């Protein structure tokens, strides 16, 4: 009974938050105080209440007057969406961007996008990738601190503390590139954008998936995953003249691309990690065995559909120069054991999108 109550409450909360965000996207008047900036407020945003554009309150960036690429420097303002394990594909995208000579000067991320963006901004991408590649070889569950509370099943502190061993926590304002992470304040019903202070605290709040990870308490705010209100935070990335706006959307409704691997390799990657995940999910799914969908599948499918719709509207409102899509069917939210495959998927998606962009310029 308690699992059904938790499930219903969670769905009502998510539906309410998504409906609120959708309504705000369609309104002709918006208030700038619906977004709380935590840290540096010099993001060069302005509200034009009397604009003649279709959206009269479009939140514009004053530096975004010229987004045509500079062919010599190819500076990039990069936006990384949330998406659970699919966010590992961001690593492949970033590696391909650097390989082709693009310079990432700013990053805005939500959830897993905030995590990968933080790792890159700290200059620790290679260490992070090497660590996540070994997820199937480790007793991964020792990093999962179960809470089984009414606010979430996992605290999420252990894995981030483990990462601190090779990724030092620093203040966002001390990073070499502009960085921001988004979270959702479910108490005050607004976005929270971190641009200053501990990058660890910012990431911890941004990845707090409702019902899975416990929320983060800050002052009078209760923070959860930024994807609840803004799964693709395009409007929070720092822009500069002549840069290229690139958005990586890992929840796209497109066919799945998967690099070829052998059955033996697939079984090797799956290993003990996936067996533990399956056991964990089956335990909770058994609580709803009389229903067609188990607890996790129902939550994942519901949140995934809501996130996709909000992402679609956001991308239409703030069209990027380059949109790199990764299928939301590439893997499930907790398939971290597929890290190598997901990095390859990200590289493949980046190659295709960058080639298409280059052809348009020609």
Cα–Cα distances (Å) from 128 to 198, 263, 325, in that order, read 18, 26, 23
Per residue, the 3-state secondary structure of 233-290, as one string, reads CHHHCCCCCCCEEEEEEEEECCCCCCCCCCHHHHHHHHHHHHHHHHHHHHHHHHHHCC
Which residue in the list 136, 185, 225, 243 is annotated as catalytic? 225
What is the CA 354 to chain-centroid distance, rounded? 21
**Which residue in 57, 106, 108, 111 is the catalytic one?**
111
Single out the residue of 199, 194, 178 nearest to residue 105, CA to CA: 178
Active-site annotation holds for 63: no
What does DSSP say about strands 190-194 and 178-185: parallel, antiparallel, or unpaired? Answer: antiparallel
From first CA to last CA, the distance across the chain in angstroms is 61
Q: Has 53 been annotated as catalytic?
A: no
What are 42-50's contacts with CB under 8 Å, separation 24+? 43/180, 43/195, 43/236, 43/238, 44/238, 44/239, 45/235
Which residues 6+ apart lie within 8 Å of 60 measured at CB? 45, 46, 48
CA atoms within 13 A on the CB side of 311: 28
Residues identified as active-site? 111, 225
């Amino acid at each position: 009974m308690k699992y059904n109550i938790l499930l219903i409450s969670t769905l009502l909360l998510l539906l309410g938050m998504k409906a609120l965000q959708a309504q705000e996207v369609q309104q002709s008047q918006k208030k700038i105080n619906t977004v709380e900036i935590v840290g540096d407020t010099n993001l060069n945003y302005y509200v034009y209440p009397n604009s003649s554009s279709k959206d009269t309150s479009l939140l514009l960036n004053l530096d975004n007057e010229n987004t045509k690429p500079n062919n010599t420097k190819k500076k990039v303002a990069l936006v990384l969406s949330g998406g659970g394990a699919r966010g590992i594909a961001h690593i492949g995208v970033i590696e391909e961007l650097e390989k082709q000579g693009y310079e990432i000067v700013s990053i805005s991320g939500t959830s897993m996008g905030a995590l990968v963006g933080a790792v890159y901004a700290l200059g620790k991408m290679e260490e992070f990738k090497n660590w996540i590649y070994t997820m199937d070889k480790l007793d991964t569950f020792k990093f999962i601190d179960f809470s089984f509370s009414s606010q979430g099943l996992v605290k999420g502190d252990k894995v981030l503390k483990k990462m601190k061993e090779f990724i030092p926590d620093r203040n966002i304002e001390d990073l070499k590139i502009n960085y921001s992470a988004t979270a959702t304040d479910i108490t005050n019903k607004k976005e929270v954008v971190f641009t200053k202070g501990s990058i660890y605290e910012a990431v911890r709040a941004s990845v707090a998936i409702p019902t899975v990870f416990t929320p983060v308490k800050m002052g009078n705010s209760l923070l959860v995953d930024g994807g609840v209100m803004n799964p693709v935070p395009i409007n929070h990335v720092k822009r500069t003249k002549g840069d290229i706006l690139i958005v990586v959307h890992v929840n796209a409704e497109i066919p799945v691309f998967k690099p070829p691997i052998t059955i033996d390799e697939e079984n090797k990657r799956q290993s003990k990690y996936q067996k533990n995940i399956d056991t964990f999910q089956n335990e909770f799914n058994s609580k709803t065995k009389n229903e067609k969908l188990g607890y996790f599948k129902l939550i994942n499918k519901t949140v995934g559909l809501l996130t996709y719709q909000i992402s679609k509207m956001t991308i239409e409102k703030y069209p990027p120069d380059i949109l790199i899509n990764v299928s939301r069917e590439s893997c499930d939210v907790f398939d971290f054991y597929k890290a190598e495959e997901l990095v390859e998927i990200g590289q493949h998606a980046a190659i295709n999108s960058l080639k298409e962009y280059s052809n348009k310029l020609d």
